[in-house]
Amino acid sequence: MDSRILAFVDGNLQTKWDELLARTREIYDLNAIGALMSWDQSTYMPPKGGTLRGRQLALMEQLAHERRTDPALGRLLDDLQPYAESLAPDDDRAAILREVRRSYERAVRIPASFASAFAKHTSESFMVWIEARPANNFAAVQPYLQKTLDMSRQMSQFLGTSGHLADPLIDFADRGFTVAELRPLLATLSVALTSLVKQIGERPQVDNSVLHHFYPKASQLAYGEQVARAIGYDFQRGRQDETHHPFMIKFGYDDVRITTRVDEYDLGNALFGTLHEAGHALYELGIDPAYASTVLDSGTSSGVHESQSRLWENIVGRSAAFWQHAFPRLQTAFPEQLAGVSAEAFYHAVNRVAPSLIRTEADEVTYNLHVIIRFGLELELLEGKLAIADLPEAWHARYSEALGVRAPTDVDGILQDVHWYGGPIGGSFQGYTLGNIMAAQFYAAALAAHPGIEAEIGRGEFSTLHSWLHENIYRHGAKYAPGDLLMRATGQPLTVKPYLEYLCAKFSGIYGTLTIDRPAAGIQSA
Show which residues are catalytic.
Answer: 277
Fill in the amino acid letter for 71.
P
Separation of alpha carbons 471 and 273, rounded Å: 25
Number of H helices, E strands in the chain: 21, 5
Residue 249 bridge partners (DSSP) = 257
Nearer of residues 214 and 235 to a copy of itself, judged by Cβ: 235
Nearer of residues 49 and 522 to a copy of itself, judged by Cβ: 49
Angle at CA of residue 394, ends 202 and 375, nearest 5°: 80
Give the distance from CA 346 to its chain's centroid.
27
Separation of alpha carbons 37 and 50, rounded Å: 11
Nearer of residues 44 and 265 to a copy of itself, judged by Cβ: 44
Q: Where do contacts with a copy of itself occur on this chain (CB under 8 A)?
A: 26, 29-30, 32-33, 36-37, 40, 44-49, 51-53, 55-56, 59-60, 63, 235-239, 241, 251-255, 257
* Cα separation of the two ends of the chain: 33
Give the distance from CA 150 to its chain's centroid.
25
CB of 70 to a copy of itself, least distance (A): 15
CB of 225 to a copy of itself, least distance (A): 13
Fill in the amino acid letter for 218.
A
Phi (first) and psi of residue 118, to 5 degrees: -70, -40
Separation of alpha carbons 131 and 38, rounded Å: 19
Fill in the amino acid letter for 288.
D
CB of 235 to a copy of itself, least distance (A): 7
Nearer of residues 114 and 253 to a copy of itself, judged by Cβ: 253
Nearer of residues 30 and 149 to a copy of itself, judged by Cβ: 30
Nearer of residues 57 and 349 to a copy of itself, judged by Cβ: 57
Separation of alpha carbons 242 and 158, rounded Å: 38
Nearer of residues 290 and 510 to a copy of itself, judged by Cβ: 290
| Distances in whole angstroms, Cα of residue 150 to Cα of each of 129, 174, 234 | 18, 22, 43
152: left (phi over 0), alpha (psi -120 to 50) or beta: alpha
Q: Among 370, 360, 322, 366, which Cα is nearest to 344's?
A: 322
CB of 218 to a copy of itself, least distance (A): 11
Give the distance from CA 12 to its chain's centroid.
40
In this structure, are residues 277 and 259 in contact, taking their beta carbons and an 8 Å threshold?
A: yes
CB of 188 to a copy of itself, least distance (A): 43
Fill in the amino acid letter for 99.
E
